Amino acid sequence: MVANTSIYSVSGYRRARNALTSSGARPCTSQRRTHHQPGRLATCVPSVASHKHGESAKGHDGKIKADAASVVRDLRARHSAESTAALCGRVFEVHVEATYNLDAVRKGSPYRAMRSDGLTDVRIYHIDRPEDTLAQAQLKTHLHGLCGHKYDGLLRVAPTDALQSAQQLPVEVSPVLSYGGVSSAPIDNWGLEQAAAAPEAHFSGQ
């Protein structure tokens, strides 16, 4: 991950806050940052109130895209021995997380997606209660095993080409992660290969 030198880093925030305090102005507290782990998207999210007052989402778009591209580069370096299919599975999680959050920011929604460890791949939370999981999703680049009872109660998401080649499924599988009026962008396996090869180009086009 590239070192964070923006105002959203601890040192940057302190410098900005001190500058505001010395000038007699009150520091803005409308920005929230979700806690993240290495290899996770460090999504800087604006408050819903800020969007209601017309705050531009352009800067937040750029950060989400840059972070997503950085994560994919890191995954590609750390898992260079993996097959293309395995790497695309990891990139699929990043794509779904990033494009869901882009849609949320643009719509002024309080919901966010975050990749998670364990049984599920992605969880949905509210920015005011990030510790509470509102929905969980399992993502696979193929349908093998995705329709099993193991994932009952979870949202199931697969690339568009995997769904187009499938017969009638016993459970609902969607090409997008959708929750609370926010959705990720659909993608096929060829698109995932392109995203793995050129993450900056991929996410800049979202």
Please name the amino acid found at residue 50.
Answer: S
Residue 15: pLDDT band (50, 70, 90) is very low
pLDDT at 2: 34
129 C-beta neighbours (distance < 10 Å), count: 10
Q: How far apart are CA 51 and CA 31, in angstroms?
A: 11
Q: What is the pLDDT of residues 138-167, one digit of tens each?
A: 999 999 889 989 999 999 999 999 999 877
Cβ pair 173, 146 in contact under 8 A: yes
Q: How far apart are CA 33 and CA 35, in angstroms?
A: 6
The answer on pLDDT for 30 being more than 80 is no
Ranges of H-type helices in 43-188: 48-52, 58-78, 84-107, 160-164
Residue 55 has phi, psi (to 5 degrees) of -65, 135
Q: How far apart are CA 95 and CA 119, in angstroms?
A: 19
Domain edges within the chain: 10-21+29-204
Please name the amino acid found at residue 92.
Answer: F
Higher pLDDT, 127 or 49: 127
Cβ pair 99, 43 in contact under 8 A: no
In terms of Cα–Cα distance, which of 91, 3, 105, 22 is closest to 57? 105
pLDDT at 41: 54
- Half-sphere exposure of 177 toward its Cβ, with a 13 Å CA cutoff? 31
Q: What is the pLDDT of residues 80-105, one digit of tens each?
A: 999 999 999 999 999 999 999 999 99
Rounded to 10 degrees, what is the CA torsion of 144, 148, 150, 155? 80
Rounded to 10 degrees, what is the CA torsion of 107, 173, 92, 193? -120
Give the CA diameter of the chain: 66
